[in-house]
Amino acid sequence: MHRLWIGSALIVGLIAIGIGSYLFFFSSGSGSLPDGVTRGGQSIASLETTNAAGRPEKTFALTAEEKEWTIEEKERVEAWTYNGTVPGQELRVEQGDFVQVDVTNNLDVPVTIHWHGVNLANNMDGVPGLTQDAVQPGESFTYKFVAEDAGTYWYHSHQHSSRQVDKGLYGPLVVEDPEENEDYEVEETLMLDEWPVHQAKDGPASRQGMMESRRSGDGEADTKDLYDTFTVNGKAGEAIDPLEMEQGETARLRLVNAGFQQHQLAFPEGSAEVIAVDGEATSSNDASADIVEIAPGERIDVAYTKQDQTPVFLGEPGNKEKARDMRIPVLPEGTSRSEAAMASPETETTARGADQSTDTVLFDQVPDPDVSYTMDLSMGMDMGGGGMSFQINGRTFPDTPPIHVQDGDIVKVEIENNGSMNHPMHLHGHDFQIQSQDGTALDQPSVKDLVHVKPGESYTIYFEANNKGEWLFHCHDNNHAELGMSTIVDYDSVYSPYDFGGDAENHPS
Ligand code: C2O
Ligand code: CU
């Protein structure tokens, strides 16, 4: 009896400590940036934002608002949207444009916008508590940046991302290259996502998920539990917009994975070629792919040629529980969805992923690093919470060790996944070069801002510290980031004047 009481008191105590430390980091106003983040001389708030100086200006207004969103007939969700749609309005600009986006928050929670993949000034990066205070209900904020590099990008809230991106606060950003002479008859942006339509999303990752992941081994089990409906541009099943294409036409499909699960799209043999990854053109080594796999947060551009007049679906290949929902009809004139169902591509073909090597490299040779950091990705039980935690070097954010750099440093990061879940690791504000995988040098490196590290895999990446600031480096399964898998690339010469938690309720994951 007595012993039982002590036991329960201990458990209650541990839970209290767990919750207490969580609340401390996300609610206290006590300047609680992670331990070990240095305080340089210059505030990132005073870093120069690129100015318009004679550039063409493109101005947009985005309002964050709640909206009932119809995913498919009878499938409605209470979404959080930019300008009332999921995804939010596509922002299209030309390379070199000065882009200004006024964000107004009509939700009753704070929001921000992060410009995923855009290397802009740190104080425009949209990470609450690190690069700005979250935009409060009823308030506005203006983001400004130069669209330096053509390619496919996207924007999303970075305030409590595991909740806000899940609820629809995202949209595409396309930077066109005015010099590009390749013309495509069709151009479409396809944003992929998952929703919990018929169930409540119970916590970022459940204990059951962890058990299951041990069994299934595809690195996705924890997230599969959480969602029941897959969407393309906010629509599922019959509601997905068809591509209208005739024989011989080629489409540029800009795929963006806004969800927290990896997805695959199967193409008829020999019809698809990967032309860009994370906004970087691929080298044309062997870019043909029958199955294109796209990690959470990743962008992949595909040139897809319609080889005949047969209607087909481009869809998730076989034996996926919810594959029905992610199927994009390709309908030549005079054909229908039901005919496409009959003629869908071979879904059992072995995945032949495309080579992701890029045209441009950051380093011709393996560089000599000034800073080396080993990033050990693992998972464990959350102290007291009963769920999982996702760790970098045995710690959860904000206690993860930062990557300390100085302006101009060459930084080497060796990432290894010692857990049993997939981790698409995304770096803000910089491109990196993937030099080797599992200890073997790639024939040709790949320049990206996200690397999908699967269980047991390791990657060596390099980047140049050429953009002063405090930058997140985190897993883009935002449910994992929420449970700890995040760290900061911390430039010694600057500091962030913002806090996690505080009056602004800054919640960066
Ligand atoms: Cu899509 Cu931290 O970002
Ligand atoms: Cu992860």
- Between the CA of 440 and the centroid of ligand 1 the distance, in Å, is 28
The pLDDT tens digits of the residues spanning 174-224 come to 999 988 867 899 999 999 999 998 877 655 555 455 555 455 567 888 887
Asked which of 160, 178, 196 is the last residue of a domain, the reply is: 178
Asked if residue 449 has pLDDT above 60, the reply is yes
pLDDT, greater one: 330 or 51: 330
Asked which of 342, 371, 399 is the last residue of a domain, the reply is: 342
Residues 154 and 292 in one domain: no
Residues 193 and 333 in one domain: yes
Q: Nearest to residue 276, comparing CAs of 337, 210, 349, 187? A: 187
User: So what's the pLDDT on residue 30?
Assistant: 42
In a domain, 503, yes or no: no
Number of domains in the chain: 2
Q: Which ligand is nearest to the CA of 425?
A: 2
Residues 203 and 159 in one domain: no
State the average pLDDT for the chain. Answer: 88
Distance CA 365, CA 367 (A): 6
User: So what's the pLDDT on residue 445?
Assistant: 95
pLDDT, greater one: 221 or 148: 148
Residues 338 and 206 in one domain: yes
Element (H, E) at 4: helix 2-27
pLDDT, greater one: 46 or 23: 46
Residues 172 and 194 in one domain: no
Let me know: does 146 contact 95? Beta carbons within 8 Å.
Answer: no
User: So what's the pLDDT on residue 28?
Assistant: 37
Element (H, E) at 276: strand 272-277
In a domain, 145, yes or no: yes
Question: What is the mean predicted confidence (pLDDT) over 132-141?
Answer: 98
Question: What is the mean predicted confidence (pLDDT) over 489-505?
Answer: 96
pLDDT, greater one: 318 or 431: 431
Distance CA 471, CA 44 (A): 11
In a domain, 135, yes or no: yes
> Please, which pLDDT band fits residue 345 given cuts at 50, 70 and 90?
low
User: So what's the pLDDT on residue 285?
Assistant: 64
| CA terminus-to-terminus distance, the chain | 42
Residues 72 and 165 in one domain: yes
Percentage of residues in the chain having pLDDT higher than 70: 85
In a domain, 458, yes or no: no
User: So what's the pLDDT on residue 32?
Assistant: 58
Encoded amino acid at 65, one letter: E
User: So what's the pLDDT on residue 335?
Assistant: 94
Give the domain CATH number at 233.
Answer: 2.60.40.420
The pLDDT tens digits of the residues spanning 31-45 come to 456 777 878 889 999
User: So what's the pLDDT on residue 460?
Assistant: 98
Question: What is the mean predicted confidence (pLDDT) over 486-492?
Answer: 97
> Please, which pLDDT band fits residue 2 given cuts at 50, 70 and 90?
very low
Tokens of 31: 């300047």
> Please, which pLDDT band fits residue 163 given cuts at 50, 70 and 90?
very high
> Please, which pLDDT band fits residue 316 given cuts at 50, 70 and 90?
confident
In a domain, 431, yes or no: no
Within 270-421, where are the H helices?
A: 337-342
In a domain, 381, yes or no: no
Residues 151 and 202 in one domain: no
In a domain, 324, yes or no: yes
Q: Which ligand is nearest to the CA of 424?
A: 2
Q: Which ligand is nearest to the CA of 389?
A: 2
Answering whether pTM is above 0.85, one says yes
- Between the CA of 258 and the centroid of ligand 1 the distance, in Å, is 10
Pick from 276-280, 335-339, 344-348, 461-465: least confident: 344-348
| Boundaries of domain holding 124 | 45-178
In a domain, 349, yes or no: no
Looking at residue 164, the DSSP 8-state letter turns out to be: H
pLDDT, greater one: 442 or 223: 442
User: So what's the pLDDT on residue 421?
Assistant: 94
Asked if residue 53 has pLDDT above 70, the reply is yes
The count of other CB atoms within 10 Å of the CB of residue 9 is 10
The pLDDT tens digits of the residues spanning 238-248 come to 999 999 999 99
- Between the CA of 411 and the centroid of ligand 1 the distance, in Å, is 20
Asked which of 292, 307, 342 is the last residue of a domain, the reply is: 342
Strand partners, 42: 494
pLDDT, greater one: 229 or 340: 229
Residues 225 and 327 in one domain: yes
Which residue has a Cα nearest atom 1 of ligand 1?
Answer: 116
Ligand 1 binding residues, C-beta < 6 A = 114, 116, 156, 158, 297, 426, 428, 472, 474, 476
Within 185-291, where are the H helices?
A: 207-216, 221-224
Question: What is the mean predicted confidence (pLDDT) over 324-331?
Answer: 90
Percentage of residues in the chain having pLDDT higher than 90: 72
- Between the CA of 344 and the centroid of ligand 1 the distance, in Å, is 34
Q: Which atom of ligand 1 is nearest to the CA of 127?
A: 2
User: So what's the pLDDT on residue 48?
Assistant: 83
- Sign, Cα dihedral of 400, 403, 404, 407: negative
Question: What is the mean predicted confidence (pLDDT) over 249-255?
Answer: 97
Looking at residue 282, the DSSP 8-state letter turns out to be: B
Phi/psi for 12 (5° steps) reads -60, -40
Residues 238 and 318 in one domain: yes
Q: What does 14-58 look like in DSSP terms, one character per residue?
A: HHHHHHHHHHHHHH--S--PPTT----SEEGGGSPPPP-TT--EE
Residues 165 and 221 in one domain: no
Residues 332 and 200 in one domain: yes
The count of other CB atoms within 10 Å of the CB of residue 99 is 26
Distance CA 485, CA 496 (A): 20
Q: Which ligand is nearest to the CA of 295?
A: 2
Question: What is the mean predicted confidence (pLDDT) over 386-401?
Answer: 92
User: So what's the pLDDT on residue 69?
Assistant: 98
User: So what's the pLDDT on residue 216?
Assistant: 58
- Between the CA of 17 and the centroid of ligand 2 the distance, in Å, is 25
- Between the CA of 423 and the centroid of ligand 2 the distance, in Å, is 3
Pick from 77-91, 204-218, 264-278: least confident: 204-218
Name the residues around ion ligand 2, CB cutoff 5 A.
423, 475, 477, 480
Distance CA 446, CA 460 (A): 11
- Between the CA of 247 and the centroid of ligand 1 the distance, in Å, is 38
Q: Nearest to residue 32, comparing CAs of 383, 396, 398, 382? A: 398
Give residue for tokens 């493109």.
58
The count of other CB atoms within 10 Å of the CB of residue 218 is 13
Asked if residue 443 has pLDDT above 70, the reply is yes
Which residue has a Cα nearest atom 3 of ligand 1?
Answer: 116
User: So what's the pLDDT on residue 387?
Assistant: 76
Task: Classify residue 137 as left (phi > 0), alpha (psi -120 to 50) or beta.
Answer: beta
Q: For residue 81, what are the contacts with CB-CB under 8 A and spacing of at least 6?
A: 64, 65, 66, 67, 69, 88, 168, 169
Question: What is the mean predicted confidence (pLDDT) over 141-149?
Answer: 96
Encoded amino acid at 114, one letter: H
